[in-house]
């Protein structure tokens, strides 16, 4: 199906481009979301008549998104989740979780604007792209931790999992040394 785009669509084209897309993509996404019109003679005439207004509306939306992007770019959001000793989350952090954290911090972010290639399933600092407008994308950080204290340590740059592993190793080494010292003391013959 041929459609004329009413806004920039990633990997398809810009405003006013007439592109060939699959029928299902057009019927289920582009047309209901008002991102495109069918490329019929009547719709092309309507588009040409309203082209200046559509471009002006897009420019205003992009400008507003750029203002929000200046405030949002580089922000870090703390997400407290339950996780095992290895740092593996019992659930996962989804786009909705990141969007909710951003909204709670006072940033206008919609769930569908958060771009996660795969769900976040481990604790740590994760870079997440947020698309505020088809032409405006920023990167934020999702600080996934088991506690606020752990989140604070991660924010300072500490690798919490490695620190936990080092503490466990030190405790095991100390325990091994105590056992070795005790076994040596038990093996020494008593002097009279």
Tens-place pLDDT, residues 27-75: 999 999 989 999 999 988 888 888 889 889 888 989 998 998 898 888 8
Global pTM reads 0.72
Give the mean pLDDT of the chain.
86
User: Is 2-70 in CATH node 3.40.5.10?
Assistant: yes
Cα dihedral angle (128, 132, 135, 139), rounded to 10 degrees?
-20
Decide if 121 contacts 127 (C-beta within 8 A): no
Q: How does residue 153 score in pLDDT terms, banded at 50, 70 and 90?
A: confident
With b meaning 16 or more CB within 10 Å and e meaning fewer, what string describes 27-41? Answer: eeebeeeebbbebee
- 124: tokens are 């740590």
pLDDT given at position 188: 59
The third-level CATH classification (topology) of the domain covering 76-158 is Ribosomal Protein L9; domain 2 (3.10.430)
pLDDT given at position 191: 57
User: What span, in angstroms and rounded, lies between the C-alpha atoms of 51 and 15?
Assistant: 9
* Domain boundaries of the chain, sorted by first residue: 2-70, 76-158
Angular region, 3: left φ>0, alpha ψ -120 to 50, beta rest: beta
Q: Which residue has the higher pLDDT, 177 or 42?
A: 42
SS3 call for 120? strand
User: What span, in angstroms and rounded, lies between the C-alpha atoms of 118 and 89?
Assistant: 14
User: What span, in angstroms and rounded, lies between the C-alpha atoms of 187 and 67?
Assistant: 75
């Amino acid at each position: 199906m041929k459609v004329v785009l009413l806004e920039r669509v990633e990997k398809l084209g810009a405003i006013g481009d007439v592109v060939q897309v699959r029928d299902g993509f057009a019927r289920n996404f582009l047309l209901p979301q008002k991102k495109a019109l069918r490329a019929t003679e009547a719709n092309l005439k309507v588009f040409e008549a309203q082209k200046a207004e559509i471009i002006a509306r897009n420019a205003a939306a992009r400008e507003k998104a750029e203002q929000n992007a200046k405030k949002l770019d580089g922000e870090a959001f703390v997400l407290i989740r339950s996780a095992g000793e290895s740092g593996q989350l019992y659930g996962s952090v989804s786009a909705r979780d990141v969007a909710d954290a951003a909204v709670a911090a006072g940033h206008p972010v919609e769930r569908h604007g958060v771009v996660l290639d795969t769900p976040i399933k481990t604790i740590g600092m994760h870079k997440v792209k947020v698309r505020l407008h088809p032409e405006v994308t920023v990167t934020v950080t999702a600080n996934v931790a088991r506690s606020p204290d752990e989140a604070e340590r991660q924010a300072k740059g500490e690798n919490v999992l490695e620190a936990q592993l080092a503490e466990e190793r030190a405790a095991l080494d100390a325990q091994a040394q105590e056992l070795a010292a005790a076994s040596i003391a038990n093996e020494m013959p008593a002097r009279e």
